[in-house]
Structure 1
Amino acid sequence: MDVIRDVLDNQLVDRNQRKMGKVDGIVIELRDNQPPRLAYLETGATTLARRLHPRLGRWIAAWQSKWGAKRSEPVRIPWSKIRDIGIDVEVDLDAEESPALAYEQWLRETVVKRIPGGR
Structure 2
Amino acid sequence: MDVIRDVLDNQLVDRNQRKMGKVDGIVIEYEDGKPPRLAYIEVGLVTLARRLHPRLSAWLAAVESNWGAKHSEPFRIPWSKVQDVGIDVQVDVDAEATTALAWEKWVREQIISRIPGA
TM bracket, shorter-chain basis:
over 0.9
Q: Tell me the residue number matched to 1:117.
A: 117
User: Which residue in the other structure is 1:50 paired with?
Assistant: 50
**C-alpha contact (below 8 Å) 1:68/1:103 kept by paired residues:** no
Distance in 1 between residues matched to 2:109 and 2:49, nearest whole Å: 25
Q: Deviations over 1:67-117 (max 9, x none)?
A: 152222111010011010000000001111110001111122222222233
Q: Which runs of 5+ in 2 are unaligned?
A: none
- Give the TM-score of the pair, scaled to structure 2: 0.94
Secondary structure of 2:102's aligned partner = helix
Q: Which residue of 2 aligns with 1:33?
A: 33
- Paired residue type of 1:107: V
Q: Residue 35 of structure 1: SS of its match in structure 2?
A: coil
Among all aligned residue pairs of Structure 1 and Structure 2, give the percentage whose two residues are the same amino acid. Answer: 73
Helix, strand or coil at the partner of 2:72? coil
What is the CA RMSD across the aligned residues, in angstroms?
A: 1.1
Task: Give the Cα separation in 1 of the matches to 2:41 and 2:25.
Answer: 6
* Residues 86 and 68 of structure 1: CA distance in aligned 2, closer, same or farther (over 3 Å): farther
CA distance in 2, matches of 1:19, 1:65: 25
Structure 1 ranges of 4+ moved more than 6 A = none
SS in 1 for 2:96: coil
Letter of the 2:75 partner, please give it. Answer: V
Report SS of the residue matched to 2:95: coil
SS at match of 2:42: strand
How many correspondences in the alignment?
118
